Structure 1
Amino acid sequence: MARTRIFVTQPIAESVIERLRAAADVTVNPDGTRVPDQATLIEGVKNADILFALLHDTVNKAVLAANPNLRAVTSMTITPDRIDVAEATRRGIIVTNIPAVVTDATADINFAILLAVARNVVVGDKKFREGMYPGSQGNYFAGSAVSGKTLGIIGAGRIGQAVARRGRGFNMRIIYADPRRLPADIEKELQATHLPMDEVLKQADFISLHPQLAPETRHLMSDAQFALMKPTAFIVNTSRGPVIEEAALVRALKSNKIAGAALDVYEFEPKVSAELVAMDNVVLTPHLGSAVLELREGMANIVADNAVAIIEGRQPPNCINPEVLT
């Protein structure tokens, strides 16, 4: 009996590759510097029974149609919004995801880029490498204080709450907007005050975005919302790129309606506005929310759990279209 063939779209932890190779023939796309394009995915799928897909892989109809014998797409994503699940289901292809395991890692990077933009860490690093050193008492790289300021959380789910806890460590005042108010005990723990979104935008020194991406949250931040923010305020986004209308953000920054932005996600990811790239008061990271070695290895092992279960004829633990199993 022929062994199952797995195509992994980017390099993952070697321990997970070895585990997969014990159960299947494994091919790994060696280029980990960029998200594979459609042609790469199609070529890989042609010779695979299982596609091991990473977060940003777009698995559309063309990819799914590349091999009529494709059995499964085992994905390292929590929300498979880049996978055509309906088409996969129509073709009888199993689709799996992973549980929500990235809370602390995402909250960490959220606060890292918040600090970086407020204190001019990135531009200071760049200029220092170029030979500039105005001295510790100079004002050239003077930024904004973080401790004691007001942190506005938009979307108080798991990650929003985790960011609020980090804010409390900096003695920040926590205000938040969410259609569903938090239970009283959590509000008390976080010392968080629930307010309408407009009030959060008006009062906060840092706006941290954590809503789920849905039709009603697409372009949640646009011209009208940026106009409500303080001219000294910063916006931070580690949720989903389309939550911010990128062109409106550029307009707000160019007209000094806000002080700066720190982004880990982008509206047209992986593309980003050239105008944002050119701005010193903008910190940009390439979607590093879950980019922690131990976490990524754990995530890859969850995907492997699903793949091995499929190979062994068992129901995968994280199947999102179980109807195909019947």
Structure 2
Amino acid sequence: MATIYQVSELAGVSLATVSRVINGVTPVSEKTREKVLEAMDKLNYRPNSIAQSLASNKTDTIGYVVPELHGSFFGSMMSGSDKVLRSSGKHMFIAPGHSNEKDEKEAIEILIGRRCDALILHLEAISDDYLIELAKENIPFVVVNRYIEAISEHCISMDNKLGGYLATQALVKQGHNQVAYIAGSLWKADARERLEGHKQALREAGIDFDETLMYEGDFQGHAGEEGIKALFSQGKQFTAVACANDEMASGAINAIREQDLLIPEDISVVGFDNVEYSNYLTPKLTTIHYPMEDIGKMAASWILNKVYGNRTMELTHIVLPKLIERHSVAAPKV
């Protein structure tokens, strides 16, 4: 394995010059830089990343905590971050938090211990107070899909209440006044906010919120199916259902079809997130677009701005949802 000394000899420059080219902390002439890079290429020399990080006090790595490693939602978000970070020569270390406090804290500690320059955190169980204290330790981090007023400058989120409002408003505008709702896990802030938006849309339309027409799921497809079956078994009457995400909407569609009912002729369905497969369901799903990739890109831009001094990128802390109208919503039968 080639050494930095051999690179120095082949390029005809000092060890210090080779080090400056590798670490990029002080400028060298383009001619000298090309000589060093050519020598490195001929010798197949690979710089020691540990030594580089000691010299620059940066590891060029970003720690990323997400609830799970599967699913199109988290994949789109991480992909957005990766595109921005890789374009600036930075790389991600990813750790799952599994939506429980112990694993989320452990993931954060591991990534800090790996000397990551900053953290991107999608957390569901850790308290606001923990994150407020973490900010006091001067550890650079950005929280995605969550808003904490005390550290709002560290947060990038979507207006979930507005999203819930737009979803139900789309049904109400078609003339539905018997609207069921399948919520996500209500211990999660985004699920509560989407439900609040649903209630607001009903309230503005002069429709009372009926607690018995709501089913609390867990953002998984089976919960949508179970929710519809539970409502049918209780003899509930409804002409439309709003679901807190597309996975539960797909489960709801299956359960509705099992009752030999048509969508949207008998029951309209609206989802939330606009994951890729929502456009390939039958019928294509009307849903709320959650710009997951854009949020991932914005989180990465925040890191480049705050940690690496790239001030050319504009930062937006709250992004807005929008309704995507497809074929799963229609006016109720007269």
Give TM-score, length-normalised by structure 1: 0.41
Give TM-score, length-normalised by structure 2: 0.40
Structure richer in helix, relative to its length: 2
Please say which structure displays the higher CA radius of gyration.
2
